[in-house]
Amino acid sequence: MTAQKQLWEIAMDQHGYVTTSDARSLGVTPAALKLLAHRGVLRNEGYGVYRFSLFPASAADDYQHAVLRTGKPGAALSHETALDVLDLCDVNPDRIHVTVPRAARVRRQGGEQLSLHQQDLGTDEVGWWEGVRCVTEATAIMQVIDARSTPMHLIRQAIDTARSHGRISPSAAEHFSKKLERDIGT
């Protein structure tokens, strides 16, 4: 199987994106990626991130790119971005929030469009949204309460929505409501 076909297989699960790390895991050199980009097969989307030119666009593309751009396998959509994509409240984040492990050193920040957070996430705190790693509803709610940067009415809306759709338990909803009142107040 050619390098291009191997990379395409990975790209199918990543909204058309491949990274230099993906390529290395297949024994494909970064020089081969550059050659595919030169031929127009791939587009260089940023340091270490490429996208197949013919891959169809989707609403999740920017989110997948943000997660891959960190270069960290444990990266996941988080905070207000997770609340938004999981349809928990009417938040409209001005950046894509991504959480990476605490020990991660991220050189490529992503400019004004990416807000990086560091937190060690357990396997029970991470799920998937449209094929992109994303924190769970409960984790996203806890993150925005702890960050104290999201308006209180939006956090309440997220708690109510998650509870009414069975995404968090009644006891979790009560815990989050009490923490919200205690930490942020009215």
User: How far is 130 from 27, CA to CA, in rounded Å?
Assistant: 28
Most confident of the ranges 71-75, 111-115, 162-166: 162-166
Share of the chain above pLDDT 90, in %: 84
* Predicted TM-score of the model (pTM): 0.91
- State residue 1's pLDDT score: 75
User: Tell me, what's the pLDDT at 46?
Assistant: 87
Confidence of residue 186 (pLDDT cuts 50, 70, 90): low
Quickly state the pLDDT bin for 47 (edges 50, 70, 90): confident
Confidence tier at 92 by pLDDT (50, 70, 90):
very high
Question: Is the model's pLDDT at 49 over the cut of 90?
Answer: yes
How far is residue 84's CA from residue 2's CA, in Å, rounded to a whole number? 39
Starting at the edge strand found earlier in the chain, the sheet holding 114-118 runs 114-118, 96-100, 76-77, 132-135, 126-129
User: What letters, b where the CB count within 10 A reaches 16 and e where it falls short, cover 69-101?
Assistant: bbbbebbbbbbbbbbbbbebbebeeebbbbbbe
Is residue 2's pLDDT more than 90? Answer: no
The span from the CA of 159 to the CA of 169, in Å, is 10
